[in-house]
Amino acid sequence: MKESIFKSHRLIDISPIVGPQTAVFPGDTPFRRTVALDMDSGDNLTLSSIQTTVHIGAHTDAPNHYSSQGPGIDCVSLEPYFGLCQVIEVSLRPSERIRPEHIVKQKIRAPRVLFKTLSFPDPNQWNNDFNSLSPELIELLAEQGVKLVGIDTPSVDPADDKILESHNCILKKDLRILEGIILTDVSEGLYELMALPLKIEGADASPVRAVLLESQTNVR
């Protein structure tokens, strides 16, 4: 019998809890769970349904979220969401986009890059002034072979951006997006990322259970 791949690794959950308290974009559909059957009420099992935006908690956008010609989340390859990734920490002013000069001292070492900004500190409390990505940064990352960009905020664009500059640059470069992750206790360095989307037909996004695998022997 083969040993589990997790035995020599530390598993780090970078997903927030999803519930009625979870903050969503103003005007979007909040989370609601409806219980149809409940064992605590004498039923033979517990059975429930949920209603929510698909852009809740840790989630990945599908190209059809920002392009009318883009595929839904059920049609995208899973490969970008699984594999070697790099966590990069930045410290910026509120509402500022991450630009190439902010990571000039960093060497891109993985095809998936997650940005730790700490600018959306409470997933249950909405704030508009979170950090985001710049198109120039996306261009730079794409040139270096990056296939997925992630950030610990609700969006790769500012909350009030209607043009969606970074989303459109991501579309042009055919990258994938991971938003809403929690990196508070994650150090900079290399990890293995697992953040597979659900196969929801035609959906513009999917919640994910995003986790990082850290090898005990990994020296960053």
The string over 120-159, giving b where at least 16 C-beta atoms fall within 10 Å of a residue's C-beta and e elsewhere, is beebeeeeeebbbbbbbbbeebbeeebbbbbbbbbbbbbb
Residue with tokens 């600018």: 119
Cα 87 from Cα 112, distance rounded (Å): 9
Distance, in Å, from the CA atom of 78 to the CA atom of 214, rounded to the nearest integer, reads 21
* Element containing residue 165 per DSSP (H, E): helix 165-173
For 196: left if phi > 0, alpha if psi spans -120 to 50, otherwise beta; the answer is beta
32, amino acid identity: R
Tell me if residue 55 is catalytic. no
Task: Please identify which of the residues 55, 59, 65, 102 carries the catalytic annotation.
Answer: 65
* Residues 82, 86, 87, 92, CA torsion sign: negative
For the packed helices 135-143 and 165-173, what is the interaxial angle rounded to 10 degrees? 20
Question: Which residues belong to the active site?
Answer: 65
